[in-house]
A and B are shown apart, each in its own frame.
Chain A
């Protein structure tokens, strides 16, 4: 086999689908990661701020013009599809890739502009090493570009009450029915 074909093979590995835990397998808890964050009010919070509830968690950055507004819309679409009882209990955690620009003040402004209910949603600032670890744990790829934008993948995860990453989806622009069914499950 030629070297070129070998490279194609290796590149094919990259196209592996998202891994979600199989039935019966216990999902690894995101809360094994002990990270201190700042919320949009500048208040220190821990990554497990919503322990005890189901949580939608993903990452974004505030100055993004294209995909990031869509991320917020997608999270809202998922919320809307959830049963009313589950929806009241559901929480949303958005961690920024961009510690420099997404200060708590900037995050508070995004929350206001986007009419985000910060009693149920948290926009969080994390330092660069925490951003790396959280992204790694969630399987999110990101890279800072020379112009200050970020190139990143978007993966929305549903955490159970203990932080277990029970389901992940790369769908944006619509409410992935699989995420919705996990949220609605008792």
Chain B
């Protein structure tokens, strides 16, 4: 399983200048629109339609999350319900309420989907949906959709296939993309609101599979743009994570519908 482990570990980009840590992420407005996702909405529908939304500029930090658990004790690692978080939850923190100074400004990891969702809700926000995340992450520094740019694609792949050593970068330290969003690539995997919705199955598995009755509706979804390995890995990772799982390479950021004040 060594290759899998090296795959799951993501490289950090420490040392790149970024904005100072802020109490509340201002977020950026992203217009959305029609978007060709690696995950088609339906077998006969290739284009996803993304409504305007606001997305956090940076990942949620340990400091941000510590503020949350101080006011919401039911999300402390010593009090959290077993249904909502596994035993690894916030294991990197120095105490039940404090991450410790060494990792204060790093992205919070070892958080379950339930905990990440509750954090965003406490801010009047929600986790970004997969299509929102993928749309934002398709941008390079200069282009709204750089997915057909070989140089950009190679850069992404290099990040994903390098094994991580050393600490994660502080939040917001990676360069801003076209929309002004940071940390989308090369830092950690990120929870999305619909992580439990990524029915990944290919035709061979569906054909004559005794389990095919598990799926209702017009068939399970399959992946498109097979050359887009980085996105496929994200989807595979998210699909393999149960909502109570936590991982040292899984963090999150929040989003809101564009119309909502925050």
Which residues of chain A have C-beta atoms less than 8 A from B78's C-beta?
none
Selected from B196, B216, B242, the residue in CB contact (under 8 A) with A67 is: B216
* A143 touching B83 in the complex, CB below 8 Å, given contacts A10-B236, A151-B220: no
B147-190: which have CB < 8 Å to A? 157, 161
Which residues of chain A have C-beta atoms less than 8 A from B113's C-beta?
136
Residues of chain B at interface, number, CB under 8 A: 44
User: Do the beta carbons of A151 and B215 come within 8 Å of each other?
Assistant: yes
Q: Answer whether residue A116 sits at the interface, using C-beta atoms and an 8 A cutoff.
A: no
User: Do the beta carbons of B233 and A149 come within 8 Å of each other?
Assistant: no
* A149 touching B217 in the complex, CB below 8 Å, given contacts A6-B4, A28-B82: yes
User: Do the beta carbons of B196 and A9 come within 8 Å of each other?
Assistant: no
Closest to B211 in A: A170
User: Do the beta carbons of B236 and A151 come within 8 Å of each other?
Assistant: no
Binary flags per residue of A4-43, CB closer than 8 Å to B gives 1, else 0: 1111011101101001000000001110110000000000
Selected from B42, B196, B240, the residue in CB contact (under 8 A) with A10 is: B240
User: Do the beta carbons of A145 and B42 come within 8 Å of each other?
Assistant: yes
CB distance from A152 to the nearest CB of B (A): 5
User: Do the beta carbons of B214 and A132 come within 8 Å of each other?
Assistant: no
CB distance from B123 to the nearest CB of A (A): 14
Cα distance A34–B121 in the bound complex, in angstroms: 15
Q: Answer whether residue A180 sits at the interface, using C-beta atoms and an 8 A cutoff.
A: no
User: Do the beta carbons of B240 and A16 come within 8 Å of each other?
Assistant: yes
User: Do the beta carbons of B3 and A68 come within 8 Å of each other?
Assistant: no
CB distance from A72 to the nearest CB of B (A): 12
User: Do the beta carbons of A29 and B83 come within 8 Å of each other?
Assistant: yes
Which residues of chain A have C-beta atoms less than 8 A from B240's C-beta?
10, 13-14, 16
Closest to B201 in A: A14
User: Do the beta carbons of A151 and B196 come within 8 Å of each other?
Assistant: no
User: Do the beta carbons of A151 and B219 come within 8 Å of each other?
Assistant: yes
User: Do the beta carbons of A13 and B83 come within 8 Å of each other?
Assistant: no
User: Do the beta carbons of A14 and B200 come within 8 Å of each other?
Assistant: yes
Cα distance A186–B66 in the bound complex, in angstroms: 44
Closest to B216 in A: A67
Cα distance A67–B3 in the bound complex, in angstroms: 38
Selected from A137, A146, A151, the residue in CB contact (under 8 A) with B216 is: A151
Q: Answer whether residue B114 sits at the interface, using C-beta atoms and an 8 A cutoff.
A: yes
User: Do the beta carbons of B197 and A141 come within 8 Å of each other?
Assistant: yes
Selected from B114, B216, B218, B237, the residue in CB contact (under 8 A) with A147 is: B218
Cα distance A155–B197 in the bound complex, in angstroms: 14
B1-27: which have CB < 8 Å to A? 1, 3-4, 7
User: Do the beta carbons of A154 and B216 come within 8 Å of each other?
Assistant: yes
Which residues of chain A have C-beta atoms less than 8 A from B71's C-beta?
none
User: Do the beta carbons of A70 and B42 come within 8 Å of each other?
Assistant: no
User: Do the beta carbons of A14 and B239 come within 8 Å of each other?
Assistant: yes
Cα distance A5–B232 in the bound complex, in angstroms: 13
Cα distance A66–B199 in the bound complex, in angstroms: 18
User: Do the beta carbons of B196 and A141 come within 8 Å of each other?
Assistant: yes
25 contacts between A and B (CB under 8 A): A4-B229, A10-B7, A10-B237, A14-B239, A19-B242, A28-B83, A32-B81, A33-B83, A132-B194, A132-B196, A136-B242, A141-B199, A143-B194, A143-B198, A143-B217, A143-B221, A145-B42, A145-B217, A145-B218, A151-B216, A151-B218, A153-B215, A155-B214, A170-B211, A173-B213
List 18 extra interface pairs beyond A6-B161, A136-B243, CB under 8 A: A3-B229, A4-B229, A7-B236, A10-B4, A13-B4, A14-B240, A28-B244, A32-B81, A67-B216, A137-B243, A141-B239, A143-B217, A149-B217, A151-B216, A152-B216, A154-B213, A170-B214, A172-B214
A-B pairs, top 5 by smallest CB distance, nearest first, are A67-B216, A136-B243, A151-B217, A32-B81, A10-B236
Q: Which B residues lie at the A interface, using CB under 8 A? A: 1, 3-4, 7, 41-42, 45, 81-84, 113-114, 117, 121, 157, 161, 193-194, 196-200, 211, 213-221, 229, 232-233, 236-237, 239-240, 242-244
